Amino acid sequence: MSSIMTSHKKKGPVLLITAFEPFDGAKTNSSLIMLEKLAEKDWGGRVAFFGPVPVSFAEAWPVIEQEMKRYPDLKGIICMGQAEGTTQISLERMALNWMQAGIPDNDGAKPKGPVIKGAPSILKATFPWHELEESPLWECSYNAGRYVCNATMFNAVNWARNEEKHAGFIHLPLLASQKGDPGLGDESPRLDDAEIEKGLRRVIDFALDTLEPELALKAKPAPRHKQDGPKP
């Protein structure tokens, strides 16, 4: 397990972004590829990156939760995962309190039942993805599945609501750089790495503006007023 974090000066990161390890026989995971690319960018110390997270119903959230304890200024978390067959970045808007694995996780487990007993049947992401401008690079999704990704999202949103913070989940399509991975379908669509990175950078900027709206207001240029006439 490794942690990759951008350098910071005074205040610690306010946003943690995570990605999963490969699973189901694959050698790569698009979320982990993007995590490593994004971690190379300058985020002004506001973002921390962590991965790979184990594709394990039992271990994924505890591992992430332990990592979050490192950052006392944390205001939100975005977990990323891979969704083979998709053609856009999927901004997940809700998670089900239900596990029903179609394939075993990396521990060989196939649980069936609630993620958290006694919790609501559905939790909505606390990042307002519906307020993000429209783009061909991303879409809002209402189905995070019933695998480890959904369970992780449910735990993250449950944490966010209890702590009055923010949490969300993003599914990524396969990337062009994953071509030749024997564990992935040859016919599955693959998107350009640079385009997906571009989309994610905008999504992260939006998330940061949500977490620290006061900084977003300062960054906006002052409005220009039309002059009524020539200056005296």
| Helix H or strand E encompassing 211 | helix 193-211
How far CA 126 is from CA of 48, 79, 111, 115, in Å, comes to: 19, 13, 26, 18
pLDDT band at 2 (very low <50, low <70, confident <90, very high): low
Domains and CATH numbers, the chain: 2-219 (3.40.630.20)
Extract the tokens encoding 226. 């039309």
Per 3-state DSSP, the chain is made up of helix, strand and coil in percentages (nearest 5) of 30, 25, 50
Q: Is 229 exposed, middle or buried (0-12, 13-18, 19+ CB in 10 A)?
A: exposed
Q: pTM of the full predicted structure?
A: 0.89
pLDDT band at 4 (very low <50, low <70, confident <90, very high): low
8: pLDDT strictly greater than 60: no
Read off the DSSP letter of residue 91: E
The average confidence (pLDDT) of the chain is 92
Cβ atoms 191, 87 nearer than 8 A: yes
Cβ atoms 86, 191 nearer than 8 A: no
Buried-exposed string 25-57: b where 16+ CB fall within 10 A, e elsewhere? ebebbbbbbbbebbbeeebebbbbbbbbbbbbb
Give the CA angle between residues 51, 49, 108 to the nearest 5°.
20
Higher local confidence (pLDDT), 202 or 10? 202
Summarize pLDDT for 68-120 with one digit per residue, the tens. Answer: 999 999 999 999 999 999 999 999 999 999 999 999 999 999 999 999 999 99
For position 215, what pLDDT does the model report? 81
For position 11, what pLDDT does the model report? 85
pLDDT band at 220 (very low <50, low <70, confident <90, very high): low
- C-alpha–C-alpha distance, residues 230 and 232, integer Å: 6
- C-alpha–C-alpha distance, residues 175 and 85, integer Å: 11
pLDDT band at 214 (very low <50, low <70, confident <90, very high): confident
For position 179, what pLDDT does the model report? 95
pLDDT band at 24 (very low <50, low <70, confident <90, very high): very high
221: pLDDT strictly greater than 60: no
198: pLDDT strictly greater than 60: yes
How far CA 229 is from CA of 222, 223, 225, in Å, comes to: 20, 18, 12
Summarize pLDDT for 124-147 with one digit per residue, the tens. Answer: 999 999 999 999 999 999 999 999
Cβ atoms 129, 169 nearer than 8 A: no
35: pLDDT strictly greater than 60: yes
User: Which are the catalytic amino acids?
Assistant: 92, 149, 171
Contacts of 186 (CB under 8 A, 6+ apart): none
